[in-house]
Chain A
Amino acid sequence: MGSRLEANSAKSRQRIEKHRFENEEGEEYEPSNFGGFTDYFRRKKIKLQNLDAELRSSASANPPIFRGVVAHVNGYTQPSLNDLHALIVTHGGGFMQYLDGKTTVTHIIASNLTPKKKIEFHKYRIAKPAWIVESVAAGRLLPWNAYRVVDEGAGQQILGFDNGNVISQASTQKVGYKDQTDTSWYTGQVQSVAKILDERQSPPSDPEAQSSNTQTFPHSEVASPIKSTNRPVEYELSQEDDTGAFGQGEIDQVSERSFKEVEVTLDEVKVPIVTARQAEPVTARQAEPVTARQAEPVTARQAEPVAARKAEPVTVRQAEPTRDPKGQTNHHNDDDTSVTLLKPSINNDTLLTVPEGQDSKSPCTLSAEEHNALLLKDPRVWKSTVANPGFLKQYYEESRLHHLSTWKADLKSQLQALATEKTSSQRTRVKRTPGARRYVLHVDFDSFFAAVSLKKHPQYVDKPVVIAHGGGSGSEIASCNYPARKFGIKNGMWMKHAQKLCPELKVLPYDFKAYESASRSFYEAIMDTGGLVQSVSVDEALVDVTPICVEAGGHDGKGIHEGSIWREQETADSIALAIREKVKNLTGCDVSVGIGGNILLAKLALRKAKPAGQYHVKPEQVLDFVGAVTVQELPGVAYSIGGKLEEIGVKYVKDVREVTKERLMTTLGPKTGQKIWDYSRGIDHVEVGEQVLRKSVSAEVNWGIRFVTQEQADEFVQSMCEELHKRLMNERVKGQQLTMKIMRRAADAPLDPPKHLGHGKCDTFNKSLVLGVATNDKNILAREALSIMHGWGFSPGELRGLGVQMTKLEPLRGSAENPVASSQKRLQFQTFSPQTGSLPLTTSHDHIDSPQKPKRSVQHPAAAYASQISPSGKRRSQVNTLGTQFVMPSQVDPQVLAELPSDIRAKIKSNEYQGAKNHSDKPRGYSRPASPSSTADNLPTHSQLDQETLEALPEDVRAEILQFYQRSPRKPNTQTLLPQSPHKNRSVNIATKSTTPTKKRTGLLLYGKGHGKSNAASSSTLTQSNFVANRTVTAQVREGDGVAADDDEVSQEFLAALPEDIRREVVDQQRRNRLKKRGGLDLAASYSKKRSGRKEGQTSAGQRRLQLLARPAKPTFTARKLSALPDLREAMKSWVEEFQTEAPFTDDVDALRSYLIKVILEEQNMSKAVAVTRWLEWLVEDIGEPDKMTGWRSAIARIEDGIQEAVKERGLGRLDL
């Protein structure tokens, strides 16, 4: 807020403060003039201030807490404008009824602002009415920040102080009228009255109600200090002067004094704090973190929460020992003597007295690590925490949940084996026509563990019985029978709670052996039905009995056929009954069966069937049946999804049908939304027996995690990763994404959680990391997991749970011994035979002379060269060598060569040598390195690219190479210059070209169009090569044929770029060449045949050239055969000069006329004719003497006439002469 606000509001504040009201004699009490509204209004405001002044002076007993505040109330508020006005003014504040400008007041009080005002006012101090009320209640001015109406917007992180920790929290300002009604003054009053009434009826147990009673101010909700301690500290520490904490962002208001205060406490260290705590909890708590920080600067992060938290229960217990919930948990921990099957029994009393005693003596010094160290002194505890090296092994061996899951997995595999054995044709039977009725049975034991265990203890059958590790309050209930459920006991409940609900509860231990045998017989019974079985759990299975039922129905199971549906349903019911009876016989336990048209319906039906019954959802009942269910009862829907659905007004499944699918999808996400939408209509696409693909493998431990040092934590993470690795191997998968999950003790959780060595209340942190390559290597996993964990920098003592998870799984291929290596993608390299590898580059000679050579000798030189250079067969290097080969100069300056490193020199030398060999018959001096023909000869032509090599290359590389050829400035040479035709004419041609290689690439893109095409097309002149010269010059034949033979390896891409007819020719040529090469055909014969059709004569060198038809000779003028325009002009000039004085001869004029006609008609050069005529005209006009010009003029007219005639003869309009 700018200085303007300060300045203006200070002004009005001073004005109000100075305002004195003596009597009604003032100017403001004079009558207003007619039309003097402004005057009237000014007076009105003064009079209102007069009222305030009087009110203020009359209430001088109240503390002037609002001194310096000038407030304005906007809109509807609770309490009302009047009340607020009175509160502010009687407590020393100023009040403005009329807002002359936003800056004239210091604060604006509003419950809610219109969106527009929110924008307009958002730089001003807008506070809720509660600020006034609570400040008055607190007897001091609370910082208004906690009562902001306009915040920085949702999601804006704000700084806050939470028990001495600077925390960053999302702004969670509630917007709307609900806020107003919930926290309103009136509601508070009503609630407090209600509470008072409640308390009269029942003894006081609720601390808040209690405290509200004790409040002198009736607005208990907002004013209760206890309540306020639960809030973020911001306003609890309001009075800037005597607190050491910041309000939300209100740093400017925290005066320097507060810092000083903090420094003072720092100096005083611990002792005064203890006393302070006893005296006043609030300040103690603020001071403590500071001292802790000061005491041990390095371990500050661990130390401070401990101190802060330790303090809390103690102080509260001192104040209200029986009511504090945290105190209670601490107490019951003391009673907890959990003795279980799996954990060693521990006497918690001994454990907890130690830290607690410590706590009471010197609470500030105990860090989480130290606490853990103390804890681990007990060998039994040590054994059952991660400090024990064998912990993980033991953990997985003893964990009940782990046992169950592995058991289920085993069972599943056994079942699968059994099922395939029994019904080998099961798969085929699954196929069903769409729209056919289906019958799915969901079979489930009624309270499996309890029922099985009760068989051994029949005396308890009618009593409430639970299965748990033991009677200790810390054990969880694994299963409970129906009598127990009547007490409200549920599976997964804690024993403590259950015992509260039902004191005479009987606890039975697990009996895994019995469970296993019961489960086995259960599955036997199910398998006997002959349906398709899917195991859901040890005591739960889905059976698809459709085929059996349809068979019984005697119809195709699709349409309605007399009684068939009824018969089918009857069969399904009887199957269910049979299962129930059989299981009852085998195990003595009840099972329930739900029957429905799909898994969803079967599962829902099962709910209705329990206990010990069966229920069949008939197709016609589906909608009603499903609709009556609450959404949370749907499989796969629980609090989270249920809560989201409730937000959009959905409680029952039938409500879902009112919601559009799109809405569901946006609320729940596309997949879940679709699923819920389907479910609400009784649709479930999942098939029985469909195995859900495993998406993740994880290892997680959140019990017994108590580290003392970082090394322990690291070691443990490593062993977790080993475990994960083991599991990944079991699943024969590897993953790409590693997720590390860390549970850290929540800041406000006690060092010892309610459950012995459990994780208690925790903050959970997850971090994922995508590995580049799927892996299951434990070292990699451990390294990454550790780096993630270190990235958070949690103190080891704070850790309560660790988990590593692998997602983005992909199946492992290859042998189990070397899975990583075999599943690694490998490039497939082409192997070159050693013979070709040793072939020198010069092999391009002699294909034709020895066509009977074994094929591998025909191996392309480029490939051979490549393999020579890179025997490792790396593809990339092949490409590179090709690349360098292109640019490698064939004839190198020896001086330059000498300067080069030896290996490069060797390479060039070998190349050179080959080049020399190539041209041994026509040696050239090194002094002509730029000789175009020699470079042309040495460049690997396009054709020298081996098709196979080319194809083996990656797509992009191949394209690059081809492009290189297309762009290569030397390309025209290689194309036009065939080695056996060192034709003079051509080499001239080439010379000009090779010096101007960039021509086609300059200029605008637009105009450059078609060049590529023309290049590509012109390159195919290669195909025009012939073999006439072969017979005469042998060496050249060889080489030429080498090149020509390679033509057939012209790439498809290249061919495709050619025009149709040329392509055909190229292909023909290729075929011929191939045949020739293979069969060693008589060259001459094929040659003569091939050429016979051609009209053009062969040049002596054998290159076929096109002799253009001679264009008709240009018509010429006079005996001097003038044709060029300058010559003509010259002639005209001399002619006119000659005959300046007289008229020209008619013959001459006619001659010129007929010449120009010929120029137009034969030479087709109108512009020349026009130019000549104009020139003549100009010359004539230049004579200047009118009488002499007449002759010339008529001559010119005649000539023009002739020209016009000629133009007309060409079918054109008149020329403008």
Chain B
Amino acid sequence: MATYTADAPVLDNYHAVVSAFSDFLTVAIHTILYERDIYPRSSFLAARKFNCPVRQSRHPKVCKWIQDAVAAVEVEMLKVRVDICKVVLCDVSVVISAGGDNLCTLSNVSLVIHAPPPSSAPLERFLFSTAAFPSLPSSEVLTPFNGSPPPAADLPEQFRATISRLSTLSSALSPLPPDCSFTLVTELRDDADIHPPLAPDTPWLAAEPHLQKQRKRNESEAQPGSTRGKDLGGVKTTPIRNVESGAFVMEMWVEEGKAKFEG
């Protein structure tokens, strides 16, 4: 419909791709928080995004946190390179990974839902894998793409599908204990010259070891994921949806952690 196409961003450079992603990530996080009952449902406001009813937390601090976290992810992505975005509930942290030529750094972003404090074990990880995003030198962030990836007119529709998939996901996932928290975790690409943004002035913290992949700095031939945190991957995986539109290629799935089934 016309309204969707009116909504469609033109993904003709990497920056546009990233902003579409962060846009979507924000909505997705709000939706997850709502669907997984992290916050009381009454604290969410019905809103419309991607021409689809979505829920938005109306608690200013939650909104602020999400905004900040997503902004930080965006900065990292423009740096460039996130392997997969995973969301873990607590603070923004970086999963160290390795390898490749260029500079776009994040391979994924994940929203990790943790069990309530004493254990704080990750229960669910919602992964937004951006590994298939174009990998560019940072100077080319705003250079328009050459013709091949066509502009993504159906991106909002795909987002809509994803969001509605997210909102029906609760039935597929086993319920969470009360008082869970969440964190946003990003994972860097497994490229050798990628360094975690762990300088003191960044908003990032190193993720807990059991959520980290590690690589040996000097072994460039090290297998990606050679030493993996025990909570990576989880026990059960539920794919959500893939979004593919021009340069925007993202896979999303949920991992349910060991702790969820043990408890």
Chain A residues near B (Cβ < 8 Å): 972, 976, 985-986, 989, 992-993, 996, 998-1000, 1002-1004, 1006-1007, 1009-1011, 1013-1014, 1017-1018, 1020-1021, 1024, 1059, 1061-1062, 1065, 1096, 1099, 1103-1111, 1164-1170, 1207, 1210-1216
Contact in complex: B239, A1167 (CB < 8 Å): yes
Chain B nearest CB, measured from A1178 CB (Å): 16
Contact in complex: A1006, B135 (CB < 8 Å): no
Contact in complex: B233, A1213 (CB < 8 Å): yes
Contacts A1108-B134, A1166-B251; A1011 near B19 (Cβ below 8 A):
yes
Per-position 1/0 for B29-68, Cβ under 8 A of A: 0100000000000000001110000001000000100010
| A-B contacts, 24 listed (Cβ < 8 Å) | A992-B5, A996-B5, A996-B8, A1002-B6, A1003-B7, A1006-B30, A1007-B26, A1007-B49, A1009-B70, A1017-B142, A1018-B15, A1021-B142, A1065-B139, A1105-B143, A1105-B146, A1106-B143, A1106-B145, A1106-B146, A1107-B148, A1108-B146, A1210-B233, A1211-B232, A1213-B236, A1216-B237
- Residue in contact with B67 in the complex, picked from A1006, A1096, A1109, CB distance below 8 Å: A1006
Given contacts A1006-B63, A1211-B233, 5 further A-B contacts (CB under 8 A): A1004-B48, A1017-B142, A1110-B148, A1111-B132, A1167-B253
Contact in complex: B134, A1165 (CB < 8 Å): no
Q: Which residues of A contact B255 (CB under 8 A)?
A: 1212-1213
- Residue in contact with A1014 in the complex, picked from B15, B47, B148, CB distance below 8 Å: B15
In whole angstroms, what is the CA distance A382 to B214 when docked?
Answer: 109
- Residue in contact with B241 in the complex, picked from A1004, A1006, A1105, A1167, CB distance below 8 Å: A1167
Contact in complex: A1215, B238 (CB < 8 Å): yes
Interface status of B199 (Cβ within 8 A of chain A): no
Contact in complex: A989, B236 (CB < 8 Å): no
Contacts A993-B10, A1014-B15, A1213-B256; A1170 near B142 (Cβ below 8 A):
no
Contacts A1062-B142, A1167-B240; A1007 near B23 (Cβ below 8 A):
yes
Interface status of B141 (Cβ within 8 A of chain A): yes
In whole angstroms, what is the CA distance A1170 to B13 when docked?
Answer: 32
Q: Which size bracket describes the interface of B in this complex?
A: 35 or more
Chain A nearest CB, measured from B144 CB (Å): 5
Contact in complex: B253, A1166 (CB < 8 Å): yes
7 closest pairs, A vs B, by CB?
A1167-B239, A1166-B239, A1014-B19, A1213-B234, A1105-B146, A1213-B235, A1106-B143
Contacts A1007-B27, A1111-B249; A1104 near B237 (Cβ below 8 A):
no
Contact in complex: A1109, B74 (CB < 8 Å): no
In whole angstroms, what is the CA distance A1011 to B26 when docked?
Answer: 13
In whole angstroms, what is the CA distance A1207 to B239 when docked?
Answer: 11
A-B contact count (CB 8 A): 166
Q: Which residues of B contact A1021 (CB under 8 A)?
A: 13, 142-144
In whole angstroms, what is the CA distance A1213 to B14 when docked?
Answer: 32
Within 8 A of A (CB), among B198-247: 225, 228, 232-242, 247
Q: Which residues of A contact B251 (CB under 8 A)?
A: 1164-1167
Q: Which residues of B contact A1212 (CB under 8 A)?
A: 233-234, 237, 253, 255
Q: Which residues of B contact A1017 (CB under 8 A)?
A: 15, 141-142
- Residue in contact with A1010 in the complex, picked from B71, B140, B239, B247, CB distance below 8 Å: B71
Chain B nearest CB, measured from A1104 CB (Å): 6
Interface status of B117 (Cβ within 8 A of chain A): no
Contact in complex: B242, A1168 (CB < 8 Å): yes
Q: Which residues of B contact A1013 (CB under 8 A)?
A: 19
Contacts A989-B10, A1167-B240; A1009 near B48 (Cβ below 8 A):
no
A1000 nearest CB neighbor, chain B only: B9
A1015 nearest CB neighbor, chain B only: B19
Chain A nearest CB, measured from B101 CB (Å): 10
Contacts A1207-B237, A1213-B256; A1009 near B146 (Cβ below 8 A):
no
Within 8 A of A (CB), among B110-160: 129, 131-132, 134-136, 138-149, 151, 153
A1108 nearest CB neighbor, chain B only: B134
Contact in complex: B135, A1099 (CB < 8 Å): no
Contact in complex: A1099, B238 (CB < 8 Å): no
Contact in complex: A1024, B139 (CB < 8 Å): no
Among B7, B131, B235, find the residue whose CB has the most chain A CB atoms closer than 10 A. Answer: B7
Chain B nearest CB, measured from A373 CB (Å): 76
Interface status of B16 (Cβ within 8 A of chain A): yes
In whole angstroms, what is the CA distance A1103 to B56 when docked?
Answer: 41
Contact in complex: B6, A1004 (CB < 8 Å): no
Interface status of B12 (Cβ within 8 A of chain A): yes
Contact in complex: A989, B151 (CB < 8 Å): yes
Interface status of B78 (Cβ within 8 A of chain A): yes
Interface status of B181 (Cβ within 8 A of chain A): no
Interface status of B105 (Cβ within 8 A of chain A): no
Interface status of B186 (Cβ within 8 A of chain A): no
Interface status of B1 (Cβ within 8 A of chain A): no
In whole angstroms, what is the CA distance A1107 to B132 when docked?
Answer: 15
Per-position 1/0 for B146-179, Cβ under 8 A of A: 1111010100000000000000000010000000
Contact in complex: A1216, B149 (CB < 8 Å): no
Interface status of B22 (Cβ within 8 A of chain A): yes
Contact in complex: A1214, B237 (CB < 8 Å): yes
In whole angstroms, what is the CA distance A998 to B131 when docked?
Answer: 30
Chain A nearest CB, measured from B91 CB (Å): 20
Q: Which residues of A contact B5 (CB under 8 A)?
A: 992, 996
Contact in complex: B10, A992 (CB < 8 Å): yes
